[in-house]
């Protein structure tokens, strides 16, 4: 059953020329909540192989900007309003470089996932660190009223992180898209309308 489920989204992505099945998670969230709009400047953290950038670059169009960042090299060739960077988001100079070259953003996305070891508590702790860093970056790089969407594997720190997110945004919702495996601890936190201090 789990195999068929994976296979369905995988095959669909292949047929529709998308780089990963992950696109259907963002597509569902976008349809329901209109996180992205034409002309937006978007930062996509953990962007490889690039399916979220395929969707995002289409929605924002050439008057917008998409900056995709990943540890891995992104091979796909995108339109000119997409910038692809091979970087570690924990690099101490990363935030400064974003401020200098691309900020402020209307939307910060993070589909970042750690390389998992199979021990659930360790995997969720690593995912929570990525989420925490993503929200720190969003705080520095978002425009007032900007939006944040980030993946997290729910672990022991999840409720603290959710509470911290709620302090910073006017509206926050935990989302589990259809394309996300039911048995996985992966969920997305959608936070809209950043309350810039």
Ligand X SMILES: C[S@@+](CC[C@H](N)C(=O)[O-])C[C@H]1O[C@@H](n2cnc3c(N)ncnc32)[C@H](O)[C@@H]1O
- Active-site residues, by number, are 151
> Between 69 and 192, whose beta carbon lies closer to ligand X?
69
Annotate 45-97 with DSSP letters as a single string.
ES--S-HHHHHHHHHH-TTSEEEEEESSPP-S---TTEEEEE--TTSTTHHHH
| 180 touches ligand X (CB under 6 A) | no
| 88 touches ligand X (CB under 6 A) | yes
Two tokens at 115? 């390389």
**Among residues 42, 65, 89, 103, the one that binds ligand X under rule CB under 6 A:** 89
Cα 37 to Cα 3, 30, 33, 64, 180: the distances in Å are 34, 9, 11, 9, 24
Q: CA–CA separation, 151 vs 111, rounded Å?
A: 5
> Between 53 and 103, whose beta carbon lies closer to ligand X?
53
Contact region with ligand X (CB under 6 A), list: 77-85, 88-96, 116-124, 162-170: 88-96
Residues in contact with ligand X, shown as a per-residue x/- string from 42 to 81 under the rule CB under 6 A: ----xxxxxxx----------------xxxx---------
| 113 touches ligand X (CB under 6 A) | yes
Using an 8 Å Cβ cutoff, are 99 and 140 in contact?
A: yes
Residue ranges in contact with ligand X by CB under 6 A? 19-20, 22-23, 46-52, 69-72, 88-90, 111-113, 130
């Amino acid at each position: 059953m789990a195999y068929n489920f994976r296979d369905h989204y995988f095959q669909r992505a292949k047929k529709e020329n998308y780089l990963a099945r992950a696109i259907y998670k963002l597509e569902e969230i976008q349809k329901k909540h209109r996180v992205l709009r034409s002309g937006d400047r978007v930062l996509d953290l953990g962007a490889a192989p690039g399916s979220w950038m395929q969707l995002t670059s289409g929605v924002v169009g050439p008057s917008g900007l998409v900056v995709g960042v990943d540890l891995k090299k992104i091979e796909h060739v995108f339109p000119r309003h997409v910038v692809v960077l091979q970087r570690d988001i924990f690099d101490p100079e990363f935030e400064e470089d974003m401020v200098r070259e691309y900020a402020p953003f209307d939307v910060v996305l993070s589909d970042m996932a750690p390389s998992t070891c199979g021990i659930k508590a360790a995997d969720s702790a690593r995912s929570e660190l990525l989420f925490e860093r993503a929200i720190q970056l969003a705080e520095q790089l978002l425009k007032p009223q900007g939006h944040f969407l980030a993946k997290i594997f729910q672990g022991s720190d999840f409720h603290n992180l959710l509470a911290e997110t709620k302090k910073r945004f006017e509206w926050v919702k935990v989302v589990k898209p259809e394309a996300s495996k039911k048995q996985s601890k992966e969920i997305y936190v959608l936070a809209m309308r950043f309350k810039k201090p």
